[in-house]
Chain A
Amino acid sequence: MPKVQFIDPADVRKPGFVEFQPIPVNQYQKTVKDEKGNFTNVEFKEIYHDMVLIREFETMINLIKTKGEYNGTPYNHPGPAHLSIGQESAAVGMAWTLTVDDYIFGSHRSHGEILAKGMSAIHKLDDKQLTGIMESFFEGAVLNVVKKDFIGTTKELARRFLVYGTLAEIFARSTGFNRGLGGSMHAFFTPFGVYPNNALVGGSGDIAVGAALYKKVNRQKGLVVANIGDASMACGPVWEGMNFASMDQFHQLWEGDMKGGLPIIINIMNNQYGMGGQTAGETMGYDIAARIGAGVNPEQMHAERVDGYNPLAVIDAYKRKRVILEEKRGPVLLDVLTYRYSGHSPSDASSYRSKEEVEAWEAQDCIASYGNQLIEAGEATQTDLDATWADVKTLVYDMFLKSIDDAVSPRMTNAQIIGDMMFSNGSVDSFSTAKPDVLMSLEENSRVKKIASKERFAFDADGKPFSKMKQFQLRDGIFEAMMHRFYQDASLIAYGEENRDWGGAFAVYGGMTEALPYHRLFNSPIAEASIVGTAIGYAMCGGRVVPEIMYCDFLGRCGDEVFNQMPKWQSMSGNVLKMPITLRVSVGSKYGAQHSQDWTSLVTQIPGLKVCFPVTPYDAKGLMNSALQGTDPVVYFESQRIYEIGEQFHTGGVPEGYYEIPFGEPDVKKEGKDITFLTVGHTLYPALKAAQELEEKYGMSAEVIDARSLVPFNYEKVIESVKKTGKIIVAGDACTRGSFLTDFAANISTLCFDYLDAPVCVLGSRNWITPAYELEESFFPQVSWFLDMVHERIQPLAGYVSGQNFTDAEFIRRSKLGV
């Protein structure tokens, strides 16, 4: 897209071949003996210890799930347990070299990674740092449990802290690392650089890339590892994440210290099975997963396969790959070969693999073989190894007893607290202490200058509208709020399709390209999962971000990100994480069935998202300011029909300065006394016309309320209005069935029942595909439909003849047909 990149036909039409480099497979074949001198004796033993710790930890959970007891102590754990027994060397090897500044993201099978990365941090942090972390985390709630009656070193205490915090989280105790709200598949502990594990296969594939983007843009130390399974390599979002991480623009367009690749390692924990499906040989075609790197970029993602049964091989790979990332030549793809003896979950009967196969791998068990190497190399004796086992078993049993003791590890006594955790409701001017990177002062900006000459209220003193070009438009309101924040918060970045140069498909970002460097405003791939997924990773690490979905209809392309990830991490983390994302979603029209749908209802159904749909410049700017001041994920809907509309309601026009409109407050756009219209989105404007017609022709005065926000929503103003009028139509462009309009209607019926003079009526679009523009009048609610509905269902209008059939019989007929 940028003009600086000339696509020369003479060049690109030349014949030639795409050439590949050989991808290394298990090239590292050393043992402890070969690495003597490169590790201290303590380090060799710590590697062994960390693997044993994971093995015993997971053996304990396996026994609880399968036998209902551990060391003779019964316990019932009804929740999930996806174990990785057999994979310990891969986890410890991955984590060994990482510092607390390096972040790992995981999967549903990540207990081992938490412990490995946690132990790695404990080995590296000094006592003071460890004490500081433990004492400050949840005000010492976890520490207090493990330090009681304990005598020993700080590192030993930290190990108890790690094992207990993880286990209590798995057992849904309020003393868990995420207050018991994450559980087995989502447990994590950010002070040690352990970022969310993800219950969706491949869920970390794009989120981790966003974390790397955060590190890069905000000049933070460290790299990011996405631990995902071999089966997740089939998932679209994983590919989207890898492609996002490999964009040419990092090398070709980003400037200065921002030039260069993302510090990300896509680490395939390749245990060779996706649940019961064998990846190589059955469900995939890559044969060796590392091959994928060759399909992504010319560097082949520096991909290689590493023997994950040898912890030293994985450690070696990480030492080498870190250099590549520090040279800004990321991303990196690692295929860490491993094997799990345990089933996918306790219900797995291993019917998809033979006993011989499992036994063959057990014969080469990573812990036993590494222990033998230690003895062979003279780094340890069998007695040492036995002592390690004994020590770990004692520790794990102690922590197990503590974590199942309701007195010291209570469950959340008041589950209502979960409600308080759905949103963080913060107010933060800037998520960064840095000076924002900008290319010019605001005053110099061409768009800012253009807006300065515009009329900030749609009408002149005589009530005559200014020309469209003269009016301060809705898109200007969004622009002003975003620019304000770009110049205030260095962490704020925005991206999406056609965001740079083009200025957004609907000219909202016009003038931003000249003001902001690439790393703050850039074009993303046309791949919505990566757009939203990376934003989630970015926000989770502490950055503010505005991703854009060009058409509401594309929400399906980022379904998991919008429905499962963005809304949930604040509460699943026990409010450890914040999610300052404002997802701009543009609702289309004129473009038919796959580009003209109002899907506001889909996101309102998901707990944890704030949802707004401003339709005036004043509201657009005020709500964008609130979204960008807040700490919660906001889905900010815009209507393509009214980007150019001026401010018709807020007398005095749209303020030039900063102001916020609180979420959840509907706004009375026109007062009336006989009937209420509550509108969502663009439908405000047809509703106002209908109100005028009702008043002029039938003497009924309509009050028109613009919902503005859908979640949260304060019903008080609506109740007040219905108490006055007794009648209400809830209207919007969403297909009526199952829409948020019906949710509004049900709640208003409940809250206003005694004041109602007619049933609460819902006026949405037909339950069809959105037809061509020329037929939209038969699909979207029209001005006349309001009168039809008043006449048919609320209060017959003298001499009126309905255009639409809103009778009961027709309603039932359509419902029977499902249309």
Chain B
Amino acid sequence: MAVVVILPKQGQSVESCIITEIKKKKGDAVKKGDILFTYETDKATFEEESPADGVVLESFYKDGDEVPVLLNMMIIGQPGEDYTSLSGGEVSGKEQEVSISKTEEPIKEETVPVAVVPTQHSGLNTQNSSFISPRAKSLAAKKAIDVNQITGSGPKGRVIEKDIQAALESRPKMTPLAKQIATQDNIQPQGAGSGLAGTAKSTDLLTPANAVYGVDYEDKKLSNMRKLIAKAMHSSLQNSAQLTHHLGADARQILALRKKVKAAMDAGTLTTNITLNDMVCFAVVKALKKYPNANSHFLGESMRLFNKVHLGLAVDTDRGLMVPAVRNADDLSIFGLANQLKEVANSCKKGAISPELLAAEAATFTVSNLGAYGVEMFTPVINLPQSAILGVNTIVPRPKDLGDGVYAFVPYIGLSLTYDHRALDGGEATRFLKQIAVEIETLELDIF
């Protein structure tokens, strides 16, 4: 008896998915549990397993197709079996093609780079969802302004001449050659130029190699994931009043604890690896319980103060930044927290995290740890609507007054708290940050 495999609906707001890879083609033999195909939403990648043993009798879509959820993907059955009576047979397959033909068109466009190249050479943005006036468009092309980077201030968000002029003013002056190359190749100068009074020369352009003689770049379409991150980050900086305080915490206590953990692991008395990050997160949870205003969402007209702490963790993956949440982190022991943090991070790296946990609303506060990379100080970007985010930096030795005129180098861990000034004032933010430091410096783990 043949069975139909549909494209599951992953998350309430998901309307369609992109088929990442068809792993089993029509005619392939499959076993129950084999991966039939992988697909991605704008937040995560999923795998679909075969529900039965048999062969793929029919496969309706190919790699890269955007398919509305709940439509039939494949039919699995025995060789030679008549499956046309199934509701997901060829007939409905055709219907589905018709029904998605609208969404298919723009995707096709994206996969034909030749058609896109000329517009790009004119320095214009074809991806921007908003409109641009003919005048602004022409000025942008002339001045080699990338309209992708511009938000329109005209009626209905239309990019108008004024917006291009504003962008021009904030950009370094360019030499005629630089301008010409920028126009031809749609590239921008990086920061202030190296010429007179900061004028950008052709060598200052974003893509220096062979800029004069030819095209030496690749235009890569953004993945859904990248688009989503771009939108979220840009929106965060545009729509909130964020600033960052930096403060160091004496790291001797946690380093000592870490040493103990390692020893215990080596001795086999401890099975859970508790990292410095786990300890910092544990300290953060404690501090949040004392500063409930920091454990909040800022909603414009109101503040949403949470009873529980849902801790977001920034995770670097191949596909880009992901911030999964550990729900009810304040209920967890250090073991529980450590395990959960590892689990969500791994799920993200595999692309198998539940979309619900990736939503910005799922966490009440986020920790972003760049310490492992040696970053000494940074300004993390708030995951709106959360009110704050903590950046954790590397540990550096700093002189400290140990009393009685004795100074010594002690390890300090840098903490960078970015907060939304609409939600928190500087005093409270500082006290909260200091509290995190205190929690770190006085952390006790009764696990040994």
Q: Which chain A residues have a beta carbon within 8 Å of chain B's beta carbons?
A: 726, 753-758, 792-796
**Is the beta-carbon distance between B160 and A758 smaller than 8 angstroms?**
yes
Find A756's partner among B134, B153, B162 (CB 8 Å cutoff): B134
**Is the beta-carbon distance between A758 and B154 smaller than 8 angstroms?**
yes
Is the C-beta of B374 less than 8 angstroms from some C-beta in chain A? no
The docked-state distance in angstroms from the alpha carbon of A754 to that of B142 is 13
* With A795-B160, A795-B162: A755-B134 Cβ-Cβ less than 8 Å: yes
Task: For A756, list chain B residues within 8 Å (CB).
Answer: 133-135
Contacts A754-B134, A758-B160, A793-B155 aside, 8 further interface pairs with beta carbons under 8 A come to A754-B135, A754-B138, A757-B134, A758-B158, A794-B154, A795-B154, A795-B155, A796-B155
Is the C-beta of B225 less than 8 angstroms from some C-beta in chain A? no
The residue among B135, B160, B161 with the most chain A CB atoms within 10 A of its own CB is B135
The docked-state distance in angstroms from the alpha carbon of A758 to that of B160 is 8
17 A-B contact pairs sorted by A residue (CB < 8 Å): A754-B135, A755-B134, A755-B138, A756-B134, A757-B134, A757-B135, A757-B136, A757-B154, A757-B160, A757-B161, A758-B133, A758-B154, A758-B155, A793-B155, A794-B154, A795-B154, A796-B154
The docked-state distance in angstroms from the alpha carbon of A794 to that of B135 is 12
Task: For A796, list chain B residues within 8 Å (CB).
Answer: 153-155
The docked-state distance in angstroms from the alpha carbon of A259 to that of B160 is 71
Find B135's partner among A726, A792, A793 (CB 8 Å cutoff): A726
The docked-state distance in angstroms from the alpha carbon of A709 to that of B412 is 81
Task: For A795, list chain B residues within 8 Å (CB).
Answer: 153-155, 160, 162
Instruction: Name B133's closest neighbour in chain A (CB-CB).
Output: A757
Task: For A755, list chain B residues within 8 Å (CB).
Answer: 134-135, 138
Give the residues from 123 to 141 in chain B that come closer than 8 angstroms, CB to CB, to chain A. Answer: 133-136, 138
* A812 CB, min distance to chain B CBs, angstroms: 14
The residue among A726, A757, A796 with the most chain B CB atoms within 10 A of its own CB is A757
* A39 CB, min distance to chain B CBs, angstroms: 80
The docked-state distance in angstroms from the alpha carbon of A754 to that of B140 is 13
Q: Scoring B residues 155 to 182 as 1 if CB is less than 8 Å from chain A, else 0, what string do you get? A: 1001011100000000000000000000
* B157 CB, min distance to chain A CBs, angstroms: 10
Task: For A758, list chain B residues within 8 Å (CB).
Answer: 133, 154-155, 158, 160
The residue among B136, B158, B160 with the most chain A CB atoms within 10 A of its own CB is B160
Task: For B155, list chain A residues within 8 Å (CB).
Answer: 758, 792-796
The docked-state distance in angstroms from the alpha carbon of A726 to that of B132 is 13
The docked-state distance in angstroms from the alpha carbon of A9 to that of B161 is 75
* B302 CB, min distance to chain A CBs, angstroms: 25
* B304 CB, min distance to chain A CBs, angstroms: 30
**Is the beta-carbon distance between B133 and A726 smaller than 8 angstroms?**
yes
Task: For B154, list chain A residues within 8 Å (CB).
Answer: 757-758, 794-796
The docked-state distance in angstroms from the alpha carbon of A757 to that of B162 is 9
The docked-state distance in angstroms from the alpha carbon of A792 to that of B158 is 12
Instruction: Name A754's closest neighbour in chain B (CB-CB).
Output: B134
Task: For B138, list chain A residues within 8 Å (CB).
Answer: 754-755
The docked-state distance in angstroms from the alpha carbon of A406 to that of B319 is 80
* A701 CB, min distance to chain B CBs, angstroms: 13
**Is the beta-carbon distance between B161 and A726 smaller than 8 angstroms?**
yes
Instruction: Name B161's closest neighbour in chain A (CB-CB).
Output: A757
The docked-state distance in angstroms from the alpha carbon of A795 to that of B133 is 11
Task: For B153, list chain A residues within 8 Å (CB).
Answer: 795-796
Task: For A753, list chain B residues within 8 Å (CB).
Answer: 134
* B121 CB, min distance to chain A CBs, angstroms: 18
Task: For B160, list chain A residues within 8 Å (CB).
Answer: 757-758, 795
* B364 CB, min distance to chain A CBs, angstroms: 36
A-B pairs with the 3 shortest C-beta distances?
A757-B135, A726-B135, A757-B161
Task: For B135, list chain A residues within 8 Å (CB).
Answer: 726, 754-757
Instruction: Name B156's closest neighbour in chain A (CB-CB).
Output: A808
* B227 CB, min distance to chain A CBs, angstroms: 27
The docked-state distance in angstroms from the alpha carbon of A794 to that of B154 is 7
* A197 CB, min distance to chain B CBs, angstroms: 52
The docked-state distance in angstroms from the alpha carbon of A754 to that of B162 is 16
Task: For B133, list chain A residues within 8 Å (CB).
Answer: 726, 756-758
Instruction: Name A791's closest neighbour in chain B (CB-CB).
Output: B155
Task: For B161, list chain A residues within 8 Å (CB).
Answer: 726, 757
The docked-state distance in angstroms from the alpha carbon of A756 to that of B138 is 10
Instruction: Name A758's closest neighbour in chain B (CB-CB).
Output: B133
* B122 CB, min distance to chain A CBs, angstroms: 13
Task: For A726, list chain B residues within 8 Å (CB).
Answer: 133, 135, 161
* A511 CB, min distance to chain B CBs, angstroms: 52
The docked-state distance in angstroms from the alpha carbon of A754 to that of B135 is 6
Task: For A792, list chain B residues within 8 Å (CB).
Answer: 155
* B158 CB, min distance to chain A CBs, angstroms: 8
The docked-state distance in angstroms from the alpha carbon of A755 to that of B136 is 8
* A802 CB, min distance to chain B CBs, angstroms: 11
The docked-state distance in angstroms from the alpha carbon of A661 to that of B327 is 81
The docked-state distance in angstroms from the alpha carbon of A103 to that of B134 is 60
Task: For B158, list chain A residues within 8 Å (CB).
Answer: 758
Q: Scoring B residues 391 to 419 as 1 if CB is less than 8 Å from chain A, else 0, what string do you get? A: 00000000000000000000000000000
The docked-state distance in angstroms from the alpha carbon of A792 to that of B155 is 6
Task: For B136, list chain A residues within 8 Å (CB).
Answer: 757
The docked-state distance in angstroms from the alpha carbon of A490 to that of B122 is 66
The docked-state distance in angstroms from the alpha carbon of A754 to that of B136 is 9
The docked-state distance in angstroms from the alpha carbon of A795 to that of B163 is 11
Give the residues from 160 to 215 in chain B that come closer than 8 angstroms, CB to CB, to chain A. Answer: 160-162
* B164 CB, min distance to chain A CBs, angstroms: 9
The docked-state distance in angstroms from the alpha carbon of A410 to that of B138 is 51
The docked-state distance in angstroms from the alpha carbon of A628 to that of B161 is 46
Instruction: Name B159's closest neighbour in chain A (CB-CB).
Output: A757
The docked-state distance in angstroms from the alpha carbon of A221 to that of B160 is 70
The docked-state distance in angstroms from the alpha carbon of A755 to that of B133 is 9
* A18 CB, min distance to chain B CBs, angstroms: 70
The docked-state distance in angstroms from the alpha carbon of A757 to that of B155 is 11
The docked-state distance in angstroms from the alpha carbon of A256 to that of B446 is 131
* A411 CB, min distance to chain B CBs, angstroms: 43
The docked-state distance in angstroms from the alpha carbon of A793 to that of B158 is 10
* A542 CB, min distance to chain B CBs, angstroms: 52
Instruction: Name A726's closest neighbour in chain B (CB-CB).
Output: B135
* A790 CB, min distance to chain B CBs, angstroms: 10
* B337 CB, min distance to chain A CBs, angstroms: 49
The docked-state distance in angstroms from the alpha carbon of A753 to that of B154 is 17
The docked-state distance in angstroms from the alpha carbon of A795 to that of B152 is 10
The docked-state distance in angstroms from the alpha carbon of A793 to that of B162 is 15
The docked-state distance in angstroms from the alpha carbon of A447 to that of B301 is 71
Instruction: Name B155's closest neighbour in chain A (CB-CB).
Output: A793
The docked-state distance in angstroms from the alpha carbon of A792 to that of B154 is 9
The residue among A754, A793, A795, A796 with the most chain B CB atoms within 10 A of its own CB is A795
The docked-state distance in angstroms from the alpha carbon of A795 to that of B159 is 10
Instruction: Name A722's closest neighbour in chain B (CB-CB).
Output: B135
Instruction: Name B162's closest neighbour in chain A (CB-CB).
Output: A795
* A725 CB, min distance to chain B CBs, angstroms: 9
Task: For B162, list chain A residues within 8 Å (CB).
Answer: 757, 795
Instruction: Name A723's closest neighbour in chain B (CB-CB).
Output: B135
The docked-state distance in angstroms from the alpha carbon of A756 to that of B132 is 10
Task: For A754, list chain B residues within 8 Å (CB).
Answer: 134-135, 138
The docked-state distance in angstroms from the alpha carbon of A726 to that of B138 is 11
* A623 CB, min distance to chain B CBs, angstroms: 34
* B310 CB, min distance to chain A CBs, angstroms: 39
The docked-state distance in angstroms from the alpha carbon of A726 to that of B163 is 13
The docked-state distance in angstroms from the alpha carbon of A602 to that of B349 is 72
The docked-state distance in angstroms from the alpha carbon of A795 to that of B161 is 10
The docked-state distance in angstroms from the alpha carbon of A756 to that of B160 is 9
* B141 CB, min distance to chain A CBs, angstroms: 11
The docked-state distance in angstroms from the alpha carbon of A806 to that of B137 is 25
Instruction: Name B138's closest neighbour in chain A (CB-CB).
Output: A754
The docked-state distance in angstroms from the alpha carbon of A795 to that of B165 is 14
* A219 CB, min distance to chain B CBs, angstroms: 63
The docked-state distance in angstroms from the alpha carbon of A208 to that of B94 is 77
* A762 CB, min distance to chain B CBs, angstroms: 16
The docked-state distance in angstroms from the alpha carbon of A757 to that of B134 is 6
* B79 CB, min distance to chain A CBs, angstroms: 59
The docked-state distance in angstroms from the alpha carbon of A726 to that of B158 is 14
The docked-state distance in angstroms from the alpha carbon of A755 to that of B134 is 6
